[in-house]
Amino acid sequence: MASLNSHAKDLSRFWKGRILWDFPMAQFSTLKVGGPAEAIISATNVGDLKRLIQWLNEHDIAWWILGRGSNILVPDSGLAGVIIGLEGEFSSIEKLLAPPPGGDEEKIFVRAGGGCLLPKMINYCTEQSLSGLEFAVGIPGSIGGAIIMNAGAWGYEIGNLVHGVMLMDSSGRTYSESGENLGFSYRKWSMPPDTVLLSATLTLSSGDKDHIKSRCANYLKLRRENQPFAEASAGSFFKNPPAGSAGRLIEEAGLKGLTIGGAKISEKHANFIVNTGRATATDILNLAQLVQQEVFKRFGIKLEPEVHILGEK
């Protein structure tokens, strides 16, 4: 891949919107670590996104889509390439007036842009008395990030709600796909790398507003009781192994509270690596590696990060 440096002037000429140059990714990551991306650009509609991706491909420049940054780790050395945020039409929410083809007549369908934040979507659903997404309250991601991660909690996964999506492939071609063809499994979908989620139609049920509010409040209470809420983190750092819980293995290996630099295994939930204030990405990566080694030594299980480490393309 080419460095953006040699094409910076061309990019300025090509892209009429704002470009943040050499901007620290720590500001866009809930872990609050990460060096500068060469450029950060927001696309506000499908046409512009397509032009941008095609231009970057033509110039052999690496790019990454950024959601809310709640499941990424960016190295301290930063990213050679362009980070693309999704704003404008990608933040929209729209209740469909009729079920889409193949949609259950009894259900309600809501289409949301890939950049729409989950909390905004959950507020919308609550206001509209739509039930189904309550489990996701407290997950600070975007619709795009949540769907490509098949985000889940309390036994529910967002993949089960996806009726259909609009996607863009790595060459900029847009196409629709039904939810059942996305190959959802634990914390992932199975679409090719660099597929962009443009929008998704979720299947929801008509519900009672007070009941929805109370389910959300209960889930939030559970989170506050069991997870570090105030400290910077990316949620669960490791995926649960097929049989068992990553948090329990880390705790049983005696690693709760273990610290490297400013990175710490949370005392409250052993699968959370928290930034105590001055962590670097290297501290977090070193701590994660140590956890993997210790858990493997003790139980013969290799923990796999749930967090996406950008730059590992």
Among residues 143 and 249, whose Cβ is nearest to ligand FAD? Answer: 143
Among residues 49 and 130, whose Cβ is nearest to ligand FAD? Answer: 49
The minimum distance between CB 170 and ligand FAD, in angstroms, equals 11
- Is 131 annotated in the active site? no
The CA–CA distances, whole Å, from 58 to 1, 51, 118, 171 equal 11, 10, 33, 10
The CA–CA distances, whole Å, from 203 to 35, 124, 150, 183 equal 39, 14, 15, 17
Q: Give the DSSP H or E segment for 224.
A: helix 209-226
The CA–CA distances, whole Å, from 144 to 50, 175, 199, 219, 287 equal 16, 15, 7, 22, 28
The minimum distance between CB 104 and ligand FAD, in angstroms, equals 25
Among residues 62 and 149, whose Cβ is nearest to ligand FAD? Answer: 149
The minimum distance between CB 6 and ligand FAD, in angstroms, equals 24
For the chain, the straight-line distance linking the first and the last C-alpha, in angstroms and rounded, comes to 10
Catalytic residue among 38, 134, 157, 306: 306
Catalytic residue among 187, 199, 233, 266: 187
Among residues 125 and 151, whose Cβ is nearest to ligand FAD? Answer: 151
The CA distance from 122 to 148, in Å, is 18
Rounded to the nearest 10°, the torsion over CA 95, 98, 101, 107 is: 70
- Is 233 annotated in the active site? no
Contacts with ligand FAD by CB under 6 A lie at 30, 64-72, 86, 114, 139-142, 144-146, 148-149, 151-153, 196-197, 233-235, 308
Among residues 74 and 295, whose Cβ is nearest to ligand FAD? Answer: 74
Region at 147 (left for phi over 0; alpha for psi -120 to 50; beta for the rest): alpha
The minimum distance between CB 98 and ligand FAD, in angstroms, equals 26
The residue among 88, 72, 62 whose CA lies nearest residue 27 is 72
Is residue 296 within 8 Å of 277, Cβ to Cβ?
A: no
Catalytic residue among 70, 142, 233, 236: 236
The minimum distance between CB 63 and ligand FAD, in angstroms, equals 9
Among residues 106 and 225, whose Cβ is nearest to ligand FAD? Answer: 225
Q: Compute φ and ψ for 108, nearest 5 degrees.
A: -115, 140
Is residue 60 within 8 Å of 7, Cβ to Cβ?
A: no
The minimum distance between CB 210 and ligand FAD, in angstroms, equals 24
DSSP class of 15: -
Is residue 148 within 8 Å of 141, Cβ to Cβ?
A: no
- Is 304 annotated in the active site? no
Active site residues: 187, 236, 306
